[in-house]
């Protein structure tokens, strides 16, 4: 077993304290054979970015990692009728389509919308902050001859670790370094996000108390939705040709007033709520995306999770859920490998085999939507017809499997298949005896670690 060597613990560095990094910190803290530290470049953990949808599959994981208990009903907005979202014609207000939660999804996992800061606060309740280091920007890393990775922080801090977890977001430095051929591209769209008060929003006639996309053509839309407490979200998206330089804004404060004329063709309630938003604090996000990575691991000692592993750009409105699924899969296979005296590279290879195809399917779905939109643009329909047709065709082509995905079952299947393959090729040794035979690992294994192979829904405990 080379990955523990004669060291007492598996040493891990997590880069980034977004949902992916914090989720990892929560899970790794449950594994007594792991020593972890998290490095975050920002000087505080205050959140940017407005509202956030928690989809059923995200709730599933939040229940598992214990964060759900720190989110109370007033923290978020959830439709009492099980409504997921409405799509309306932004010019006329006409309701085009309504999506509801499937009947077999328990009400406690129905999708809901909340301010990002609320999710982060709930996650922080479960994190051991003594291992989180702020104002620590990763600037470089190198592979050491003994299979470890040396990370270099801007302030001169150096840390040698067995595993580097890249949770450094869509503009991941680690991804850029490991996969230099992978590039991010500005996709021509800006998003403006503002949180206003529910008291003010409720005075505007014609704004439904629901998640509503007010659609126009060419990617132009406004999204309105109550959040928890007294918050109400107003998000506007716009397509603009890039200037000479690619925009780099991400959460930049901006005066929404200057953008309002672009929405003159929208119906009165939308124009009014945008005027309300223009009196608040708006942040601008220039959207970038990039192709799929063939692999979400590198060199046997780096794992990519969350936005660092896929530049999907907020598509599906479930990035936090995807990030937490990555965390679940990664921590589970690490535990599995440790229990069986396997090597870290085996764990990462399993992680890759679970997550890479998942992202492959998501990218395929996005390609399908892009083709539909491109075809529509060539048909020369009248604006209202194009809006309605776009919503109809996207809805027909839409897939919702990702919102009800059971990561625990996917992981268990891969582990069971691997166990079965190993059982065929190894002597019939029990897992526990296999660990015993690894000598130097047995003494490090805390006896409270149990080899739980049931899905966590049935009682995962470490």
Ligand X SMILES: Cc1cc2nc3c(=O)[nH]c(=O)nc-3n(C[C@H](O)[C@H](O)[C@H](O)COP(=O)(O)OP(=O)(O)OC[C@H]3O[C@@H](n4cnc5c(N)ncnc54)[C@H](O)[C@@H]3O)c2cc1C
Q: Give dist(CA 101, CA 86) in Å, integer.
A: 12
CA distance 340 to 433: 9
Nearer to ligand X, 318 or 335 (CB): 318
Q: Which residues contact 73 (CB under 8 A, 6 or more apart)?
A: none
Provide the minimum distance between the beta carbon of 339 and ligand X in the complex, in angstroms, as a whole number. 27
User: 42 or 91, CB closer to ligand X?
Assistant: 42
Closer CB to ligand X, 9 or 177, in the complex:
177
- Give the tokens for residue 127: 């994190």
CB of 46 to ligand X, least distance (A): 10
In contact, 227 and 115? CB cutoff 8 Å: yes
Q: Which residue is nearest to ligand X (CB)?
A: 319
Residue with tokens 């529910």: 198
Is the Cβ of residue 42 or residue 143 nearer to ligand X in the bound state?
A: 42
Which is closer to ligand X, CB of 167 or CB of 445? 167
Q: How far is the CB of 321 from ligand X (least distance, A)?
A: 5
How many Å apart are CA 80 and CA 404, to the nearest integer?
Answer: 19
- Rounded to a whole number, what is the largest CA-CA distance in the chain? 73
- Nearest distance, CB of residue 130 and ligand X, angstroms: 18
The rounded distance, in Å, linking the Cα atoms of 57 and 45 is 25
Provide the minimum distance between the beta carbon of 444 and ligand X in the complex, in angstroms, as a whole number: 29
CA distance 240 to 244: 12
Q: Decide whether 113 or 340 has the Cβ nearer to ligand X.
A: 113
Q: How far is the CB of 250 from ligand X (least distance, A)?
A: 8
In DSSP terms, 112 is beta-bridged to 54
If the CB atoms of residues 41 and 148 are measured against ligand X, the closer one turns out to be 41
| Least distance in angstroms from the C-beta of 278 to ligand X | 18
Cβ of residue 363: shortest distance to ligand X, in angstroms? 15
Q: Where do we find the tokens 């980034």?
A: 16
Tell me whether residue 228 or residue 341 sits nearer to ligand X (CB atom).
228
Nearer to ligand X, 4 or 22 (CB): 22
Q: Which is nearer to ligand X, 29 or 434 (CB)?
A: 29
How many alpha carbons fall within 13 Å on the CB side of residue 284? 17
Nearer to ligand X, 159 or 168 (CB): 168
- What is the smallest separation between the CB atom of 187 and ligand X, expressed in angstroms? 11
CB of 328 to ligand X, least distance (A): 14
* Whether the Cβ atoms of residue 414 and residue 394 lie closer than 8 Å to each other: no
| Interface residues toward ligand X, by CB under 6 A | 15-21, 39-42, 52-53, 137-138, 167-169, 173, 191, 285, 306-308, 314, 317-321, 323
Residue 58: CB minimum distance to ligand X, A: 6
């Amino acid at each position: 077993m080379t990955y523990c060597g004669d060291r007492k613990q598996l040493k891990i560095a997590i880069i980034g304290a977004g949902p992916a990094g914090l989720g990892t910190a929560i899970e790794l803290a449950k594994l007594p054979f792991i020593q972890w530290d998290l490095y975050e470049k920002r000087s505080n953990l205050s959140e940017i970015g407005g509202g956030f949808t928690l989809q059923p599959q995200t709730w599933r994981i939040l229940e598992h990692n214990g964060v759900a208990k720190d989110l109370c009903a007033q923290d978020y907005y959830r439709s009492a009728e099980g409504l997921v979202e409405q799509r309306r014609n932004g010019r006329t207000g006409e309701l085009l389509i309504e999506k509801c939660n499937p009947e077999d999804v328990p009400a406690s996992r129905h999708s809901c919308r909340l301010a990002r800061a609320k999710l982060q606060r709930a996650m922080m309740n479960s994190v051991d902050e003594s291992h989180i280091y702020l104002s620590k920007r990763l600037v470089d890393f190198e592979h050491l001859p003994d299979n470890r990775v040396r990370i270099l922080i801007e302030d001169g801090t150096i840390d040698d670790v067995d595993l580097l977890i890249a949770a450094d977001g869509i503009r991941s430095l680690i991804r850029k370094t490991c996969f230099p051929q992978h590039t991010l591209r500005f996709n021509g769209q800006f998003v403006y996000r503002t949180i206003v008060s529910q008291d003010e929003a409720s005075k505007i006639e014609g704004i439904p108390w629901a998640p509503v996309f007010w659609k126009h053509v060419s990617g132009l839309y406004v999204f309105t939705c109550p959040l928890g407490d007294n918050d109400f979200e107003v998000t506007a998206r716009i397509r603009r040709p890039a200037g000479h330089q690619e925009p780099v804004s991400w959460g930049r404060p901006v005066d929404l007033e200057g953008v309002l004329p672009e929405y003159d063709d929208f119906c009165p309630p939308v124009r009014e709520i945008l005027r309300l938003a223009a009196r608040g604090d708006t942040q601008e996000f220039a959207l970038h995306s990039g192709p799929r990575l063939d692999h979400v691991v590198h060199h046997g000692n780096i794992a990519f999770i969350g936005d660092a592993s896929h530049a999907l750009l907020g598509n599906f409105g479930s990035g936090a859920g995807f990030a937490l699924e990555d965390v679940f899969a990664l921590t589970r296979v690490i535990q599995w490998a440790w229990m069986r005296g396997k090597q870290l590279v085996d764990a990462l290879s399993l992680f890759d085999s679970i997550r890479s195809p998942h992202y492959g399917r998501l990218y395929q779905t996005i390609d399908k939507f892009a083709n539909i939109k491109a075809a529509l643009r060539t048909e020369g329909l009248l604006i209202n017809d194009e809006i309605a047709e776009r919503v109809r065709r996207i809805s027909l082509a839409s897939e919702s499997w990702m919102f009800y995905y059971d990561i625990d079952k996917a992981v268990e299947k891969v582990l069971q298949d691997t166990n079965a393959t190993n059982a065929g090729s190894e002597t019939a040794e029990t897992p526990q005896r296999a660990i015993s035979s690894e000598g130097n690992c047995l003494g490090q294994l805390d006896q409270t670690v149990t080899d739980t192979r049931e899905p966590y829904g049935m009682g995962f405990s470490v």
